[in-house]
Amino acid sequence: MSLSFGRRALGLGAIGLALPAVSRAQGPVPGPVPAPGWPGRPVRLVVPFPPGGSTDALARRLAERMTASLGQPVLVENRPGAGGTTGADLVSKSAPDGTTLLMGVTGSNAIAGTLFPNLPYDPVAGFAPISRVVSAPLVVAVNPETGLRDLAGYIAEARVNPGAITYATPGNGTSMHLTGVMFGLAAGVELTHVPYRGTAQATTDLIAGRVRSSFGDLLILLPQIRAGAVRALAVTGAARHPLLPDVPTVAEAALPGFEAESWQGVFAPPGTPPAILARLHAEVARAMEAPEIRDSFAGQGFRVEATTPESFAAFVRAEVGKWGQVVREGRVRLD
């Protein structure tokens, strides 16, 4: 596949990523307030992955802040499986009363719609978007024992030995998996995907040398990069990351025009009343503006944001189109 694929596919993503984050002054969309006493019982925040990854870490910090402001416990519930779609399906089919929420990700809420032909929910119609909360580039990282020191060498070896370079991800259908597919298409190389049930085990096996590389989560890989346990070859964003200033972008190092980011956001079931969505948006935005959350996650490599429900919905639609093209042109099938 020619390099032009990377430019075409990622151009769609740029549209979504350019959507503005809501400012503190904008606040939630005006509307009626929920009935007195809402939520009246604990709120579930479903994480569609096992504990230990960035999605889980973010959800727990967000739940802690929302517990204090809602006056009801916000409980994180891990429901891993099928690249995040098991937990997403649970939320999509839950009662639309604002007490079951999803910490959705690129895989569950953008990629899955094309990747899984029998997906039991619609990534667009099956949710009421509340807010995107963080986004970040991925890191192309290798085990130092591979001897690979730069992205040009990585690509050269993949061309000489098709399929010999393995890459670990948190599971089939995740943004890490599809970014690897996108990379292979743009570079014209064949990589071997090794899916895990979550980020923690994928990182463990990368460090142990059981897999050679990873299109990985910046939050999880950064401490390992700093400790020398893994080597960062490139980041997938449009610009170098401030926490890894010496690491080039994929576009700089080898593939002009290449850009991909992963993101996380909060969703409610479809049909949730506008008043409840407005209240939830206000609570999420307030939590993400708290210095202990904003500074903590920014310091770990995320762009922290709180978008309006309307802009988040438009962003999700753009992402579904972008990743759908990757799935189709990469002929990705999950057997």
Give me the chain's average pLDDT, please: 89
Whole-prediction pTM value?
0.80
CA 281 – CA 249 distance, rounded (Å) = 33
Name residue 132's beta-bridge partners.
265
In terms of pLDDT, which residue wins out, 174 or 18?
174
Among candidate residues 318, 311, 329, the one with its CA nearest the CA of residue 23? 311
pLDDT band at 32 (very low <50, low <70, confident <90, very high): low
In terms of pLDDT, which residue wins out, 293 or 21?
293
Write the DSSP assignment of 55-96 as a string of letters: HHHHHHHHHHHHHHHHSS-EEEEE---GGGHHHHHHHHTS-S
Host H or E run for residue 176? helix 175-187
Does residue 202 contact residue 168 with C-beta atoms inside 8 Å?
yes
Arithmetic mean of pLDDT, 167-173 = 90
Domains, the chain, ordered by start? 8-135+262-330 (3.40.190.150), 137-253 (3.40.190.10)
Backbone angles phi, psi at 68, to 5 degrees: -65, -35
The answer to whether residue 262 scores a pLDDT higher than 80 is yes
pLDDT in tens, 175-201: 999 999 999 999 999 999 999 988 889
